[in-house]
Structure 1
Amino acid sequence: MKTYGHFIDGAYVEPLKGKWIDSFNPYTGEVWARIPQGCADDVDRAVAAASRAMREGPWATMNASARGKLMLRLADLVAANAERLAEVEVRDNGKLMAEMLGQLRYHPEWWRYFGGLADKVEGAVMPIDKPEMFAFTRHEPVGVVGALTAWNSPLIFVAWKCAPAIAAGCSVVVKPSEFASASTLEFAALTKEAGFPDGVFNVVSGYGPEAGSALVDHRDVAKITFTGSDTTGARIYAQAAQSLKRVSLELGGKSPNIVFDDCDIDAALAGVISGIFAATGQTCIAGSRVLVQNSIREAFSQRLAELGRSARKGDPMLPDTNIGPVTTAPQYRKILEYIEIAKAEGARCILGGGPATSPDLPGGQFVEPTIFVDVTPGMRIAREEVFGPVLSILGFEDEAEAVRLANDTLYGLAAGVWTTDIGRALRMSSALKAGTVWVNTYRAVSYMMPFGGMKRSGLGRESGVEAIREYLETKSVWISTTKDVPANPFIMR
């Protein structure tokens, strides 16, 4: 069993209070590692290191091109260690090796993209209307960034948050989820190997109310970026507002996957399955509401249940496993509670509907892929985020009703549309209130494309050129070119 330390100021250190948290393998149910239980003093130590890096030493004076070269070096190291890091993530959060390895092989692209973007951040000379004035803008790093990441894809979230922050010239303190911290702590050593100056990248693990709250409150942290539930995000938003911190939030979803009767049925079936049962439904972009045109709803639902029934549950390390365990015990219980709520409210279950148990599922945290029909828009199963392999199917008559049902939610993270009509695809992508709209595909992401939510699904954007702007301040500079003394110094110039 491995025991980790915090990563602070370029080195692994023990928690100041000498406390540790057991990390459980969701598949086996066994403790496989220990992570530090950080406290406010640990956070203070990490923020102090990050602040020093911003004020003193090589990071404070390093030009943008040099920062970019360090990031490219880090990208190569992640690529060389992708399989090892993926294995750590699978042990920690129980997601499929196939998915985690795919993410880790793609992860370096964020460092390459933002490493290349680092020296492309340009100010502008203004054609100012004031005579004898030279005016320009420059962009500067916002300061120390506190990054709070979720347990379902820890290192992808590190890339999404930290690559643009570091490209902008910020230093970071990452507080990963206590349920999946090991891969982030492993990754930290690669930043040192890549040549990042001490204090630029720090990791403090621990519980949210203790370590996470201390990071959000810290006076020397300029910005908080968080991925997680909307309820936790709302608390962080309110807490950060007390010190007027900048905040980016990537929160929950209740995303609609909309199937029209003119679609490619086989493609739509695969897309719906991917949208809800991939990653055991533990993803904020899960297409947990499927809206199917009434003319095909019954037949589509039956074929979907048949396809879902064929999903193989088991060891997430094996390449032929489709459904892994639920990552945490609290989340496992929550999913089962929502299944019972749906049944009590009158939804009809046509697939699954309970825990999955068999001798080859040792950890006890497997849920059967579950599909409900006869769902009405007011049911909790159709309105609240379950974060598990549970799908609600609702019917609609036409485009107008599809848009109304799809937008009838507090969330606005993502949506899917399945149609062969290009006009309909464009109309729907315009009408849907979601940060991402996929047409005839689902769960596609890229370092080039902005990602984020509308409404209760969050604030700000990750990935793409827009992401680096989240970590920059714009400064306006005025230079007088005249030697004349103002005639009246009491009047605004």
Structure 2
Amino acid sequence: MPIGPGGYAHPQGTTSADVRRRSPRSGCSLPACVSRRADTTHLDGAAKAAATAILINSGQVCSATTRLLVERSVQDELVRRIGAILESRQPAQDFGPIITAPQFDKVLAMLDTARQEGAHVAVGGHTYEEGVPERGLYVQPTVLTEVKPDMQAAREEFFGPVLVAMPFDTADEAVTLANDAERKERARIRSEKGIRWGGRPLKTAA
């Protein structure tokens, strides 16, 4: 099926009414960067944005910013605020299940690997043991800390409600971490100047 300009499919022998728009999936593990310059208001905004990224469709969105790069001095406070948001959310009300059983198993397996490799589960990290979520494919919204760049959690996509927090000390280190993943498309940076998006590898200012 040929794909024309603008992402439209043009199968032979169809009328314009039969044409369907196609949006190819490009898996990735996108980074969001938060610097210590972010004041209380910006930390609240960063926490809400980070939590929302893994709550919408339970993180099963190709453009979800699931790697959280945080300047070391504010990481603990930001993770605390994110945790407060996530722990107040209810499954089947504020977020949904994992879409398939194989994907559910993959998310849980990757969480097990993260623990084995030394990551710390700061928030969530388990399934539900009672109620409707126990009978469905629900994973608790999760935040991992103490994640090293060479760990699977840092390099591969969970495609689930898992946020991977990684600290940095300098702008150069943040850029290296942001660009260092198996798959990447865009990055989001939050500072005192608000949110900035980038569609290319990040660079430090000259």
Regarding TM over 0.5, the answer is yes
Partner residue, 2:30: 255
Identity of aligned residues (%): 30
Query: Given the alignment, which residue of 178, 198, 203 partners 1:406?
Result: 178
The CA distance in 2 between the partners of 1:429 and 1:405, in whole Å, is: 15
2:105: which partner in 1?
Answer: 333
1:360 aligned to which of 123, 126, 132: 132
In the alignment, is residue 420 of structure 1 matched against residue 199 of structure 2?
Answer: no
Matches within 5 A, 1:46-195: 144-145=2-3, 161-162=7-8, 171-172=10-11
Aligned counterparts of 1:416 and 1:309: Cα–Cα separation in 2: 24
| Match among 207, 227, 230 for residue 24 of structure 2 | 227
The alpha-carbon deviation at position 202 of structure 1 amounts to 4.6
Q: 1:29-40, aligned counterparts within 5 Å? A: none
CA gap of 1:289–1:257, structure 2 versus 1, over 3 A, is same
2:201 matches 1:433: yes
Question: Shift in Å at residue 201 of structure 1?
Answer: 5.0
* DSSP 3-state at the match of 1:364: coil
Equivalent position of 2:47 in the other structure: 269
RMSD over equivalenced CA pairs, Å: 2.9
1:288 aligns with 2:66: yes
Q: Which stretch shifts more, 272-281 or 353-362?
A: 353-362
The CA deviation string for residues 379-410 of structure 1, in whole angstroms up to 9 with x for no partner, is 10010011000111110112111111111123
Shift of 1:312: 1.3
Matched, 1:375 2:177: no
Mapped to 1, the partners of 2:102 and 2:17 lie a distance apart of 30
SS class of match (2:132): coil
Q: By how many angstroms is 1:377 displaced?
A: 0.8
The structure with higher relative contact order (CA 8 Å, sep 6+) is 2
Distance 1:365 1:284 in 2: 19
Distance in 2, Cα, partners of 1:402 & 1:333:
31
Secondary structure at the counterpart of residue 104 of structure 2: helix
User: Aligned equivalents of 2:179 and 2:98: distance in 1?
Assistant: 29
Contact 1:308 1:369 in 2 (8 A): yes
Q: Give the conservation status (yes or no) of the 8 Å contact 1:369–1:389.
A: yes
Structure 1, residues 412-457: CA drift from partner, whole Å, max 9, x if none? 21211111148xx77x959x517xxxxxxxxxxxxxxxxxxxxxxx
> Using the alignment, how far apart are the partners of 1:201 and 1:380 within structure 2?
45
C-alpha separation in 2, matches of 1:406 and 1:276: 18
The residue that corresponds to 2:81 in the other structure is 303
Larger-gyration structure (1/2): 1
Q: 1:291, 1:396 within 8 Å by CA — same for their partners in 2?
A: yes
Does the Cα contact within 8 Å between 1:172 and 1:200 map onto a contact in 2? no
Q: Is the 8 A contact 2:97 2:138 kept in 1?
A: yes
Q: 1:408 to 1:198 in 2, by over 3 A?
A: closer
Structure 1, residues 150-204: CA drift from partner, whole Å, max 9, x if none? xxxxxxxxxx843xx5xxxxx348xxxxxxxxxxxxxxxxxxxxxxx9644559x
- TM-score, normalised on structure 1? 0.37
Q: Counterparts of 2:130 and 2:71 in 1: how far apart (Å)?
A: 37
State the Cα distance separating 1:357 from its structure 2 match.
Answer: 3.4
User: What is the distance in 2 between the residues matched to 1:199 and 1:357?
Assistant: 51
* Cα distance between partner residues in 2 of 1:201 and 1:366: 38
Task: State the alpha-carbon separation in 1 of the partners of residues 151 and 16 from structure 2.
Answer: 47
CA contact (8 A) 2:98 2:137 kept: yes
Shift in alpha-carbon separation, 1:357–1:323, aligned structure 2, 3 A: farther
1:372, 1:391 within 8 Å by CA — same for their partners in 2? yes
Offset at residue 363 of structure 1 (A):
4.3
| Secondary structure of the structure 2 residue equivalent to 1:265 | helix
TM (norm. structure 2) is 0.84
Count of matched residue positions in the alignment of Structure 1 and Structure 2: 198
Measured after TM superposition, the shift of residue 330 of structure 1 is: 1.0
Listed one character per residue, the Cα deviations across residues 56-85 of structure 1 (whole Å, up to 9, x for unaligned) are xxxxxxxxxxxxxxxxxxxxxxxxxxxxxx
Distance 1:200 1:334 in 2: 40
Instruction: State the distance in 1 between where 2:61 and 2:100 align.
Output: 14
SS, match of residue 73 in structure 2: coil
* Runs of at least 5 residues in structure 2 that lack an aligned partner in the other structure: none
Change in Cα spacing, 1:420 to 1:283, as seen in structure 2 (3 Å) is same
Amino acid corresponding to residue 265 of structure 1 in structure 2: L
Could you list the runs of 4 or more consecutive aligned residues of structure 1 that deviate by over 3 angstroms after TM superposition?
197-203
Letter in 2 for 1:252: G
For the Cα contact (< 8 Å) 1:262–1:421, is it kept in 2? no
Contact 1:357 1:366 in 2 (8 A): no
